[in-house]
Structure 1
């Protein structure tokens, strides 16, 4: 790669370049939050369940995580601007297909697969294009504005999804994405390509190993609510008497280990690996990546569970759900923008720790407050705290990882950063959903067994037919199903009570797991530097591999 720093772009072009790259970041992030308020509506519209939509959300972030490093290497071969443009076209095609999806398989192809592939090309290119269009002294501000666009997308996504779903259709969100992509492609003509890189080969085997390993491990977690964690559920597939969840996770992790071993050998032989394992000896960089992983895991879990509580448990409309999530959006933006502006010399480690404590406090307060008689007001204070914590972490972590390495390695770190983020998001959604359904099923069946109003025959049928998993259903949907089955009123009322209690227990179990991951972050925060760093750690490291 050329070591010559680019000259600063003219003011007009600089604004256009920033708008283009920020719009790309906004769009990629928007899809991870915009549809969470409409999960139940989308599920009904495409003829699936909440678990089906959970799978689509998880697969979207998983495809990005699987292909992010590969997408970055493709960009280094064909040019960052070309990768950005091709990614936008693929993403736009996926959005258009999603907008007209008649069923879950088509939705997954458009939303999860095509949009995920497009994002895996776009996001690594954005990092390199910032470096290619702005001089070193202008990059922190440019990076901050681009990352700020992602924070805005997280904040406004629920409200955008709520308005579209309530007054129009959730499909119009994806139509809007197609129009935004068209605008980005028009503006992209003014973006200067990043300096070219000379690469001898593309590690196809490494790319396949990384994608398959990560994919199998996360898919194991995603399917755990249907297959069982260790002991297979009735009629679920198994191997040697053990749930496929265990085998998928073990095989996936072994493949990731094989990938890292292969990359180490390639690096030692100077044969241009997909990822340089020696980078992971950089304590600051690995600390930043770990915190990104934990942040997105907890954030994705919250954005999955809280909208379900509001829309399914309480029966709120999509826009009412979006409005109730606004407190998180407000404090998230305030922290993400305000901390760098008003406290530019604050200790990153202290800000991260305070953010984790705020996020943990928000999850714990919600965990304690939620019960079958609770109303929507109980989410306000927890969301204010969680948003403050998420925004605080978002204000620091980008600079922590980018400043940990020399400029020439910033594209590689950008790919690893995006992988950590979206792997965390995929696991957060998959884990929260799996724990929630598993706990809900156990609580519902226990409630049915212990209720004297329910006949023994019905208890036996429920234990057999629902052992594989109880869907997360609203009272209205369950009442409709009971009416269609001509269930006597006393039995129906007892079933509704059991479902109401089980929903709460399922949500509490998911929130407990998210709280534990937030607490783990407090121990990991020691790797975050105590003093702000504006560039690579030290001059003597600038010429060394981290």
Structure 2
């Protein structure tokens, strides 16, 4: 009998004493290509929806007669459930299978998008966005799991993940421009409506070509999930309503108190349960904690800035949605260039170098934005946002690498989940706080304070990366 050669994967499992999982089914290049197309389209839809919506917000405000606080809820009511279910989605994927959860979540996202498009009023739109966020939270973690199952060879898998990452970059470019064009030509509802045919095509590809992943038993942490959602929702609601009603008003103060109580209960639950959603012990490593803070600061600064500036250009400069999208073109193109070209060329220097150099570029860009005032200062806007986008493109792909270098390999999945949750929380809080500031009576002062907060986020990434992220050769 001919001996079957031992692969590096099976050898790695043998060395740990853990039985190796069954090999992935051998599939034709056509099948794997269509499976990759399915997960990339799903990932593209999630990112495109957010970046395109920022441009359309003033049009939504005019159509449904909402306030600045209402606009913030349209964005954050999507991000809160997305961030809240990311960790639990991993355990659901383990029990159901990643492809099954991907298909189920994609169907929900597509249906919720249709509900957004036909929403008769703001209340229905907010509910539909909430459902979109839940579906996106189930969709996002499954994309890389399906890629790993589809491409068992490490080299081919790395190429597939590069395509997946480039898809996210394309969504950043297409979002502001496509959102502006669609809003001007067909109205803001078309931003959601376009998800329907794309979602149906993606569903077909996933069902037909994607292979199911392995299933194993896991126990969800329902008390931790519920208290975590309550704490996050309450603090974001405090930031939104505080900017609208006044920070010391009864409702915002009540929300702040609720957030504090829910957060305290969450910490107690996670410390005592045998299967915590968020094991607190992982934060004992300073390098990992620093990476999590970096992820939060990145989304707070990078995406909060995009939301805030899109509102400012249309409300203060009087630009159309289409022209606003064009103003963001240097930001988006620089981000993609930083990700696809610079990050790949400099990756041998290690995540620490990429983090602090990229964050430095973004910090300089944010400082330049302090000079933005009326439309005559557009060169500062273009240069500042381009430098910020370039820096984000350089360092954002290295956030995962830095977090995984700082955590035990046995907790790699958990570490990635915690980082992505922190990033989504940062985005929700960035939109909430910066949106409240840009809605101040003195809009220019609100802009300046917002930009200072964005600059501080990028400066924090520089300091934490230099102080705690290990060098490549000592990782």
Offset at residue 350 of structure 1 (A): 1.6
Q: Which residue of 2 aligns with 1:94?
A: 112
**Equivalent position of 1:280 in the other structure:** 283
- What is the rounded CA distance, in whole Å, between the counterparts of 2:254 and 2:358 in structure 1? 36
Instruction: Tell me, in whole angstroms, the C-alpha distance in 2 between the residues paired with 1:312 and 1:214.
Output: 29
DSSP-derived class of the 1:48 partner:
coil
**Match of 2:72?**
54
Within the alignment, does 1:531 sit opposite 2:472 as a pair? Answer: yes
Q: Residues 436, 254 of structure 1: CA spacing in aligned structure 2 closer, same or farther, 3 A cutoff? A: same
* 1:189-227 residue CA offsets vs partner (Å, 9 max, x unmatched): 22122221222x332222211111211122111211123
Tell whether the 8 Å contact from 2:54 to 2:310 is kept in structure 1 after alignment.
Answer: yes
Task: Report if aligned partners of 1:124, 1:418 keep a CA contact under 8 Å in 2.
Answer: no
* 1:123–1:418 Cα contact (<8 Å) kept: no
- Correspondences of 1:115-514 after superposition (within 5 Å): 115-135=132-152, 137-138=154-155, 139-189=157-207, 190-199=209-218, 201-229=219-247, 231-232=248-249, 238=250, 244-267=251-274, 272-367=275-370, 369-372=371-374, 374-402=376-404, 404-405=406-407, 409-437=411-439, 440-441=440-441, 502-514=442-454
**1:66–1:215 Cα contact (<8 Å) kept:** no
Would you say how many aligned residue pairs link Structure 1 and Structure 2? 454
The answer to whether the Cα contact below 8 Å between 2:343 and 2:395 also exists between their aligned partners in 1 is no
- Whether the 8 Å contact between 2:49 and 2:192 is mirrored in structure 1 is no
Task: Map 1:74-89 to 2 at 5 A.
Answer: 74-89=92-107
Q: State the alpha-carbon separation in 1 of the partners of residues 409 and 200 from structure 2.
A: 31
Change (3 A) 1:394 1:205: same
Deviation at 1:532, TM superposition (A): 7.6
Give the corresponding residue for 1:479: none
Q: Whole-Å Cα distance in 2 between the matches of residues 352 and 72 of structure 1? A: 27
Unpaired runs of 5+ residues, structure 2, are 1-17
Return 188-197 or 277-286, whichever deviates more: 277-286
Contact 2:49 2:191 (8 Å CA) reproduced = no
Shift in alpha-carbon separation, 1:191–1:401, aligned structure 2, 3 A: farther
User: Secondary structure at the residue paired with 1:198?
Assistant: coil
Instruction: Report the CA distance shift for 1:77/1:408 in structure 2 as closer, same or farther (over 3 A).
Output: farther
Paired residue for 1:543? none
CA distance in structure 2 between the partners assigned to 1:179 and 1:15 by the alignment: 20
Counterpart in the other structure of 1:14? 32
Structure 2: distance between partners of 1:387 and 1:2: 44
| CA pair 408-373 structure 1, distance change in 2 beyond 3 A | closer
Does the CA-based 8 Å contact 2:57-2:311 persist in structure 1?
yes
User: What is the aligned partner in structure 2 of residue 108 from structure 1?
Assistant: 126
Residue 318 of structure 2: SS of its match in structure 1?
coil
TM-score scaled by length of structure 2: 0.89
